[in-house]
Amino acid sequence: ATPRSTARQLVREALERYGLAPEEGTSEEYVLCDVVGRPGGPGGAWQVEHLRPVGDAERPLVLQDVWKPKTGCSRRFEIRRRQEVERVCEGEDAETAGESPPSS
């Protein structure tokens, strides 16, 4: 990966490296995600606090330099199935849609 590498290029390369993209178009099923969290779950498991799909044309190494997670958290990039990420994001939108703004 270089600062010029796009998220789509990195997904494609990773899938090829691990033998998961035998057919053209398979890489479209996956998306690179910017995941912020911390270790500390059961057995030291990673606890996700925020997950955001990275746009295909975004450059993850540039993103990493520009934005830092809050103190106590770490960032990692994960490749996930696009459908799973869309379901998670839709669920978050549904949860926040019913919230009322804070009263002053």
Kindly list the structural domains of the chain, giving each domain's residue range(s) and its CATH number in brackets, ordered by start. 7-95 (3.10.20.90)
pTM: 0.78
pLDDT tens readout for residues 54-91: 999 999 999 888 888 889 899 999 999 999 998 988 88
pLDDT reported for residue 18: 86
Task: DSSP letter for 70, please.
Answer: P
Measure the CA–CA gap between 9 and 25, rounded to whole angstroms: 13
- CA-to-CA dists, residue 95 to 8, 37, 88, 89, 90, angstroms: 29, 20, 11, 10, 9
Residue pair 35/86 in contact by the 8 Å Cβ criterion: no
* 8 Å CB contact between 7 and 1: no
Confidence of residue 39 (pLDDT cuts 50, 70, 90): confident
Top-confidence residue, 45 or 101? 45
